[in-house]
Every structure is written in C-alpha cells, then in structure tokens.
Amino acid sequence: MKKYNFSAGPAILPAPVLEKSAQAVSNWNDSGLSLLEISHRSKPFVEVLNKAESLATELLGVPEGYKVLFLTGGASSQFFMSAMNLLNPEDLAVYIDTGAWSTKAIKEAKLFGQIEVLASSKDTNYNYIPKTYDVPQNAKYLHYTSNNTIFGTQFKEEPSSNCPLISDMSSDIFSRPVDVSRHGMIYAGAQKNMGPAGTTLVIIREDLLGKVSRTIPTMLNYQTHIAKDSSFNTPPVFPIFVSMLTMEWVKENGGVEKMATINEQKAAVVYDEIDRNPLFKGTAAKEDRSLMNATFVLENESLGEKFMEDATAAGCVGLKGHRSVGGFRASIYNAMTMEGVETLRDVMKAFEQKHA
C-alpha cells in the first residue's frame, strides 16, 4: 500500500531525492565508495557543499554581505548561538512568542542579553499570530518563528520592524519567497522541509558579527564557520548532500515561487474539508493558518481512535497531533503530493458518512 507521510518531522522527502540518496549510500557517483565514508575534505564533497550553498543563495535570493552556512546542533542550538554572537549583556533584543519553539528561543537568549517579549499568543494556547506591537528603537533585532508546527500558525508576511529580523524558518524554509535583506539572520533545521536531521542552514549578515565583548567558544562562533566554509570540523556530510538534492528538486520544479503556489493549493484542499465537514474543527485562527501544518480536532473526541484507524488503512500516517494541542496534524511540506492531501480529504469525507 502507498503511504502518505504527514509527520511533522523528521518529515517527508521528495521521491527522487530518496532514490538518489539511497544510491549514494551504496555507491556514490560510481566511485565504489559510499557517500557515508568519503572524506569531507575531498574535492567531490567540497563541490557538494559549494553547490548546496549556491542553491540556497539562488533559491532564497540571498544578497551580497551574507554568508550561508551548514552547521550542526539543530535549530535549538541557534536559540543560544544567535544571542551569544549578536548581543552584549546590556543589549536589548525583542521576541514574538508564538509557541513552543519561540518560548525556548526566549529562554536561551536571556542568558546573553536583555530580552523583551514584544507580543505573545500564549493567552489562547498559541492559536493566532500577534499583529499589534511597538518595536523599541534600541532593539538590536526582532526574533520570530515563521511557522509553528505544533499549533499550526504561520506568519503570512514578515513582522514590521525598524531593526534586523531573525527568523527560525525550520518548518517552512524553501516553501515560499523570503525577503532575506530584511533579516539579519535566518536559520532552519533540515528535518522538516529540507533534508534529514543532522544539519542546520544558517544565513547570517556578516556586518552584525564581531561586535560582542564576550569570549565566544570557537565552535559557537559564526566567524569560525565562515572562515572555514562550514568545515571547521567534520560537517554532516550525508544531511548536507540530501539537502542539496532537495534544493535541486525545488529548483527543477519551479523554485520557491512555484512551491508557494502548490502549497496554497494543497492547504486549501485540507482546510476546505475541515471547514465543510461537521465532524472536524480547525484549531488555528483562519487568517493565520499554516500552509505547512494543518491542525484540527474532532468535535466528538471519542471518535479519535477510529479516525486514526481509517486514516492508517488508507495509507495516511503521522497524523497524530502534538500532545499540547491534541487532535490531528497534517504536515503538508513541499514534498507532500496533491494525491496525498486528496487521499486525506477522502478519508475525512468517508468518515463523515460513517459517523455523522
């Protein structure tokens, strides 16, 4: 039976990427060696790393003055690395709190500077994106999480700010155009919309670095990784390679502009059914609904197990919602096909016929 992977992460990858990755594991480029065992200093892998940087730059329109890095530690490491590299103890940075990941970023940043929560949607269990706030003139940056996988909300446009933006784009990177020039930094863990877990994309404006008074450990200093082209130590070769293949796939399929159009169409299929079907109810404010993670519940919670059984029988897996929200979550990243979302829609329709 065909499977449709709606998991929030580690998440679905394009079928051609999986095929090429599998081949590379056993015999990469007819070298007789596995990609997993080649030297990260070898010319073939240096070419992979350079291509990955070039593709990220091209797809997102990264302007001059920025560096593209592939680091380790996941997006969670960037919660503290960003503040460590950009804030002195007396400096102010402001954060918009829209869920679990922004909450963790706020906690880590408080270790390195003066942090103000500019706006929060915690009052309604993060089911909307705050839109009213004033940014202090002395703020060094404004941090936001562009898409919230747990609560199913997404910024439809970048926040208004008179200071550089920093964004955790782990779950919607390469899903739509981004104005990188408004950002001082963008970071994204690979395992939701770019590749397997193990590498983190970081795009950083160089002129923001080197201005803090503290001593930064070598491995946590962005300037270390810029100077060594993401290879100060052994980089995560396989995750970078798969991420490169995914970016190639995005480019071959029309780039981020085309991805945005397709993602809007796929999300419409899911949300239209949620809104039409009397058995289901969406959990996020309609104007802030994520194109990547559709969260919903059953009006009659006692039917939950039966719905999961029907969905699994149809090949729809990974639909269980996060424990802090409950219900269900359909993650419809770039690699999710229209066939997959239509199958989920049909399961919901059939479930209505059985239980309405």
Residues marked as catalytic: 101, 168, 192
- φ, ψ of residue 201 in degrees (nearest 5): -80, 130
Q: Are 123 and 190 in contact (CB under 8 A)?
A: no
Q: Are 288 and 154 in contact (CB under 8 A)?
A: yes
Q: Are 249 and 114 in contact (CB under 8 A)?
A: no
23: which residues sit within 8 A by CB, 6+ positions away? none
Q: Are 180 and 62 in contact (CB under 8 A)?
A: yes
- Beta strands per DSSP E along 6-163: 66-71, 92-97, 114-120, 139-145, 147-148, 153-154
Q: Are 310 and 242 in contact (CB under 8 A)?
A: no
Separation of alpha carbons 86 and 151, rounded Å: 29
Q: Which structure tokens are listed for 68? A: 């593209």
Q: Are 296 and 327 in contact (CB under 8 A)?
A: yes
Q: Which structure tokens are listed for 83? A: 């503040």
Separation of alpha carbons 200 and 97, rounded Å: 22
Residue 271 amino acid letter: Y
Count the alpha carbons within 13 Å of 194 in the hemisphere toward its beta carbon: 31
Residue 276 amino acid letter: R
The DSSP bridge pattern shows strands 92-97 and 139-145 to be parallel
